[in-house]
A and B are shown apart, each in its own frame.
Chain A
Amino acid sequence: MNITLTLRILGALLLFLAIALLVPVPCSWFYRDGAASAFIFSSFISAVCGGALYSLFRSETDLSVREGFAVVTFGWTLFALFGALPFVFSGAIPSYLDAFFETMSGFTTTGSTILIDIEALPPSILLWRSLTQWLGGMGIIVLSLAILPMLGVGGMQLFKAEVPGPTADRLKPRIQDTAKLLWGVYVLLTGAEVLLLMAGGMSFFDGVNHAFTTMATGGFSTRNASVAAYGSAYIDWVITIFMFLAGVNFSLHYLALRGKIGDFIRNEEFLFYTGLIMVGTTLVVLLNMGSTYPDFFDNLRFSAFQVVSIMTTTGFGTADYELWPVLCQYLLIFSMFIGGCAGSTGGGMKVARILLLCKHAQVQVFRLIHPRAVRLVKFGGRPVDKDVMQSILGFFALYLGVFVVASFIMAGVGMDIPSAGASVIATLSNIGPGLGSVGPVDNFAHVPAFGKLVLAFCMLLGRLELFTVLVLVFPSFWRK
């Protein structure tokens, strides 16, 4: 572990955060909400700390795998620690712990909130909340790779440590160019959504905020009632479609923009993802028929929105699914584990992993029947590397392990059984709302302090896909 190099890069990342913290300042001036000084002060603190780290530590060596893990994990933690400052300074969230929880929930695109009255907050603070999600969605490190030339060497280590999915796609030979393309597509889609939302009657401010949090599959809203506040079928559908798009691998979007739309249909993961959402929506529609929603189109609109929102790990709400039949809730809980596609902004275990696990299981059963048969797990027509398959099995075991341990802790700090489990999976899969006392119409304000820390850690684990964070726990990681 080269600690000097790690600290230097972390310094650069903090300088970068200092710039991001200035973005809401013009918004604050425009609305005269008085929060501008909080942002400027926070930005100043990050700049001083970042500048100190950057200039005090110098290192000539290149980034290796270990530093990659450390930079990404600590980078995200620092972003949450410093990104929480404006909430405290502006008085929007008086407790630093709560602010940290909220910021971590933002950057990891979870969308769990401890705020009870969102609409009472200054607009610039709301913008910062959405911005944290937007930056975290495509990845802070990926963005820094695109912008900071110093990360070029060894950038692949950082890229792999942050980009979700079992393997990281590269669109271009140079990692910087890949990062630029991914962010380009992300910005483009966000812009498109802003325009479409405004066409449906949203204000520019609400449009930007919702587009930010939709494309990031985050789920922060500027309204207490989330998207339901607009009561518009058009807006619901626009958001449903963009949530769906945000859950797709962004490499596919890029190829589609380059005219290769056929790649969507050839991509196994995309087909499986679409299939899962269709089946889920159909089931929920059938179960909700008659009892909950008498009108078919209302039924379809609310069911599809909720299924896509949970499955892509966005976490927007237009309906309180706790009022739906129990089986519906059960379906939603399970889709929480799956999440979006690899290389998307969604969380969860990722569709690619689930698909490969299913195939692996199938091959195992097949082998029992035909012991001498040779059969490989294939993905997209190519046999899957044994290493990849093993890392997926390991990931699955760890995911469940973390879920179980964290649920125990949450039950230990005094939450009831459904809420304990649901709060963990809602944060671990970066969804936001869960069930019980942390359901879609509730919030996380009542969770005890220690529980908030555990959940914030779950968010980080989920966003960085376990391995990146957990390797730091091993003592051998720190030894020379």
Chain B
Amino acid sequence: MNILIVGAGQVGYFLCERLSLEGHEVTLIDRDQEHLNAAQDRLNVLGILGNGASAETMEQAGIKEADIIMAVTDLDEVNILVCLLAREYGVGKRIARVKSIDYLSRGAVLSKDKLGIDLMINPDDAVADELANLAARAGTFDVAEFVNGQIQFLGYRISEDSPLCDLTLKELGEIRGMYRFVVVAITRYGHTIIPRGDDTIQVGDSIFIFAHKEELPAIQYLLQIKEEKRRGARRAFILGGGRIGLRVALNLEERGFNVRLIERDQERCEKLSAKLKKTMVIHAEGTDIRALLDEGVADADVFIAVTENDETNILCSLLCKHHGTKRTLCLVNRPEFLDLAPSLGVDACVSPRLSAASAILKFARRGNVISLATIEGSNSEVLEIEVKAGSTIVNTPLKNLHFPRGAIIGAIVHKQGYEIPDGESSLKTGDRVLIFALPEALAKVERFFE
């Protein structure tokens, strides 16, 4: 596919990296030569210097042959103009990163249909939803739902007292007994592998599993992650009352959390208070631990730090963890910091830019991929693919098919029920297949199902 990406910021760079690795023809347009060089030297993409909203630049970049355009600069207006331009040139899919509520809200005068944009993505909203999902699921640091929420993809960190420590997957299979789930990947020291039977699970690993949602309580029990039966609702603290904080608060309110939102600006506090129904808005500094302790942060279920400052977020999360908060989630803008999360003791770090980029990838993916999730700290992806009618892979046991290396089928959802596959399983038309794939195998997996 021929893809144009306008804006060589973090979102743009991440998209370039992923899409070029998958073998697409990627052209990157930016006004800054240094940003372009950084991408061009490290990635297999072509850089064009110029303004993405100028027809001349875009013709030079080959807009006439482009299949998808992704406008991800920092400026809403530029992104919108790029998409308008792309519509004139007949580019099939147009994606814009837009933060202003003026364009995003439901009653917007200039709606995305009028602007000819297929997907408007706001990094802040994308990350807020991700944070709320994580907060609602105890023990996990990565969650994605597939097949209307039936199948869940979960990431767990293995701590010293985990019962899974030092077990091989074969042994796990034996004690697993009636529980049906499959460990599809292990991440160790930032390196992700697809494990075999004799690989062991070690302290500090992150494991990724697929499971049906009915199995979740059993799995939580096996992993000894107790969803404590408490009287009253679960308690969440949110630090930072910006747009993300507000959205997380609204989302958690809806899920029945008892939410406290900490914001240091008096006026902003008042505004927040007006918008939120049940959430208690607290006027305090994030590092003012005494104020937080007074509000009971010590036995809160989850602390979510979403200020604009990465360092504040990380430090405040650590501080709360130190004082006894069960889980801390942390917003990090700089992707370099993302990998730090496990070693620091923060339960999960998320980045608005990566969340936006995964949402864009999900949309842009061609063919029969229905849904997809990107995995924190690695370039692997989870794909949900529907088996098309007339496909040659139908009704053959999996062991006889040459399934690509570097990818594994985690679950198959038939019309009636689901199945955690083994070598004897076979695919039928209309099945939804969930696949975990390392980056180099992505393209092969897609071809496999074509």
A interface residues (Cβ-Cβ under 8 A, vs B) = 60, 65, 152-153, 155-157, 170, 172-177, 385
Contact = CB atoms under 8 A, between A and B. Distances in A.
Given A156-B44, A172-B46, 12 more contacts: A60-B191, A155-B44, A156-B40, A156-B41, A173-B2, A173-B27, A173-B45, A174-B20, A174-B25, A175-B44, A176-B44, A385-B33
Nearest to A152: B44
Interface string B8-29: 0000000000001101011100
A149 to B, nearest CB: 9
B237 to A, nearest CB: 40
B43 to A, nearest CB: 8
Nearest to A175: B44
Nearest to B3: A173
Contact of A153 (B2, B27, B40, B44): B44
Contact of B41 (A65, A152, A176): A65
A457 to B, nearest CB: 28
B41 A170 contact: no
Contacts of B20: 173-174
Interface of B: 2, 20-21, 23, 25-27, 33, 40-46, 62, 191
A146 B87 CA distance: 34
Contact of B46 (A152, A157, A173, A176): A173
Contacts of A172: 25, 46
Contacts of B26: 173-174
B58 to A, nearest CB: 14
Contacts of A156: 40-44
Nearest to A159: B44
Q: What are the 9 A-B residue pairs with the smallest beta carbon separation, nearest first?
A: A173-B46, A173-B25, A173-B27, A170-B46, A174-B25, A173-B26, A175-B44, A174-B44, A173-B45
26 contacts: A152-B23, A152-B44, A153-B21, A155-B44, A156-B40, A156-B41, A156-B43, A156-B44, A157-B41, A170-B46, A172-B25, A172-B46, A173-B2, A173-B20, A173-B25, A173-B26, A173-B27, A173-B44, A173-B45, A173-B46, A173-B62, A174-B23, A174-B26, A174-B46, A175-B44, A177-B25
Nearest to B4: A173
Contacts of B2: 173
Nearest to A65: B41
A65 B37 CA distance: 13
B39 to A, nearest CB: 10
B108 to A, nearest CB: 34
Name the residue among A155, A157, A173 with the largest chain B CB count within 10 angstroms.
A173
Contacts of A153: 21, 44
Contacts of A60: 191
Nearest to B21: A153
A45 to B, nearest CB: 31
A157 B40 CA distance: 10
Contacts of B45: 173
A468 to B, nearest CB: 15
A155 to B, nearest CB: 6
Nearest to A176: B44
Contacts of A175: 44
Contacts of A170: 46
B63 to A, nearest CB: 13
A209 B20 CA distance: 39
Contacts of A176: 44
A385 B23 CA distance: 30
B59 to A, nearest CB: 13
A64 to B, nearest CB: 8
Contacts of B43: 156
Most chain A beta carbons < 10 A, residue from B27, B44, B46: B44
Nearest to B33: A385
Contacts of B41: 65, 156-157
A399 B231 CA distance: 81
A170 B62 CA distance: 13
A66 B27 CA distance: 25
Contacts of B21: 153
Nearest to A160: B41
A286 B391 CA distance: 74
A175 B43 CA distance: 10
Nearest to B26: A173
Contacts of A174: 20, 23, 25-26, 44, 46
Interface core residue of A155, A156, A174 (most chain B CB under 10 Å): A174
A172 B20 CA distance: 12
A172 B25 CA distance: 8
A62 to B, nearest CB: 8
A153 B40 CA distance: 12
A155 B46 CA distance: 12
Contacts of A65: 41
B444 to A, nearest CB: 11
B255 to A, nearest CB: 40
A156 B25 CA distance: 14
Q: Which of B33, B40, B46 has the most CB of A within 10 A?
A: B46
Nearest to B16: A173
A89 to B, nearest CB: 39
A356 B45 CA distance: 27
Which of B26, B33, B41, B191 is the most central at the interface, judged by chain A CB atoms within 10 Å of its CB? Answer: B41
A443 to B, nearest CB: 43
Contacts of A173: 2, 20, 25-27, 44-46, 62
A177 B62 CA distance: 15
Contacts of B33: 385
